[in-house]
Structure 1
């Protein structure tokens, strides 16, 4: 039996119109390569008749990624699949964007440091200088990119250049208090995760905790979602709530919310980096 060090690990995700034989077609090709499947999840969306699958597997080191892709070419063409293959041995690189509130940033950095999040911080980007000391302590490159309505296009071009140069896979908006342009949101759809300090679809936009206070809610929450051109309307990845009561003021809700925001954003980033999230129109399929 081969040891773990003598194996390569991959994750594949696929989606296509549901038909008989999809699982057999893919797994038989993997079996022919000597693959060992360690995890498999499937979901059939009956409304759109779309089939989703995620498989984690290992192959002997002699089997290259190119060989795996060639083997899967037949089922891809047969079922018109949208398929992605991820080499688990490559650590994902992320850019974290933040403004002045740093609680979500600090939680992400901690979870990376202790290994719960398998990621490398390619850069920390901010429209303020407040988080530069944090970035320097962590040894992460800090990029100060101020922005206003006149400079947004140029600032976002710099961000795209940075993303390319740093070979970043994902942008995480850790309480980055600027609205991204339609162009950038569309171009990087599925590659930008935002944390909204509200349980969407309620209380969108600015000061959601104050909106929640005015409505006398009994629970507040946070929502991590992919960014789209429509503000706070992107496909939802993760949500959590906390119970509150009538004696709590707006600032109490804000304080309670900081912890929820940090946890929800980190969980959403983890799910994305482990390729457990698949886009399904305006929704997501999130495999455990």
Structure 2
């Protein structure tokens, strides 16, 4: 069993836990899990499950409360419970929000949206730092009293900068890194270090309109749908497991400025949903795909 730092769901309760699991599908798994939790004095408050016929795997997320169960003791008992079922599981306490570091470059719409939602209590995260290769948003960070780290990156100093970035992540004990329009490609090494805990957002034109000014390219081609995709970061550029997507319909009357504004709104909303679901432990990896218990 792998444990993580405590994080939060929509309701904070010092005796509330979230259990996520996956294992080969078989009869009786739900009964076994609910029976185990009952034995530990647990009261199930929310449960969702999915069995994938394609992979033969079973997935489950359970939120439960217990007035008596100790986190460390419960984790140890779950380890023994999981072995005969060939089960991979994680247990989270909901007593603290998920520690988060945000990376950003020169487009601040996603950053601004995440900060507002966090400050408004709409995201169960704790934004510990903002890292950027530009200085554009240091005042915005200061207005939220969040440390801002300006780390300019060039082709020659990329390894050095990424080492500093990862040191910040470790210092903050961050369980989540959000690339909020961070326009730098992470190295394979950093992608591996952040596997399963780094979320990226990009426009859904890919791979049609790569490179700079995608909304200008899309406008020239007369697209009718624009959208955004939030996914986990992997070494394969923009090809990690997808968490959330959305689209907006446009027509010939829209200017390139209209497309850009609509696209930015969609990116912000899609990223916010992905961050919320991840921080509530609603996203389980299923190979190159995800299972999302909304």
Query: How does the TM-score come out when normalised to structure 1?
Result: 0.94
Q: Could you say what secondary structure the match of 1:16 adopts?
A: strand
Distance 1:259 1:182 in 2: 30
The equivalent of 2:130 in structure 1 is: 124
* Residues 256-271 of structure 1 mapped to structure 2, 5 A cutoff: 256-271=262-277
Distance 1:69 1:92 in 2: 19
Q: Could you say what secondary structure the match of 1:251 adopts?
A: helix
Of residues 217, 222, 225 in structure 2, which corresponds to 1:219? 225
Of residues 104, 107, 113 in structure 2, which corresponds to 1:101? 107
The equivalent of 2:148 in structure 1 is: 142
The equivalent of 1:58 in structure 2 is: 65
Q: Does 1:48 align with 2:67?
A: no
Q: Does 1:164 align with 2:170?
A: yes
How far off is 1:6 after superposition?
8.2
- Between the two proteins, the alignment pairs up a number of residues equal to 284
* TM-superposition CA deviations, 1:93-122 (whole Å, max 9, x none): 100111111111010000011111011111
Do the aligned residues in 2 keep the contact of 1:205 with 1:232 (CA within 8 Å)?
no
Q: CA 1:95/1:5 → structure 2, altered by over 3 Å: closer, same or farther? A: closer
Larger relative contact order (CA 8 Å, sep ≥ 6): 2
The equivalent of 2:243 in structure 1 is: 237
Query: How does the TM-score come out when normalised to structure 2?
Result: 0.92
Structure 1 range deviating more: 247-256 or 43-52: 247-256
Q: CA 1:200/1:45 → structure 2, altered by over 3 Å: closer, same or farther? A: farther
Q: Does 1:87 align with 2:93?
A: yes
How far off is 1:10 after superposition?
0.5
Q: Say what the alpha-carbon RMSD is for the aligned residues.
A: 1.7
In structure 2, stretches of 5+ residues that fail to align are: 1-10
The equivalent of 2:6 in structure 1 is: none
The equivalent of 1:191 in structure 2 is: 197
Moved over 4 A (4+): 4-7, 199-202
Q: Could you say what secondary structure the match of 2:253 adopts?
A: coil
The equivalent of 2:44 in structure 1 is: 37
How far off is 1:223 after superposition?
0.7
How far off is 1:75 after superposition?
2.8
Q: Could you say what secondary structure the match of 1:30 adopts?
A: helix
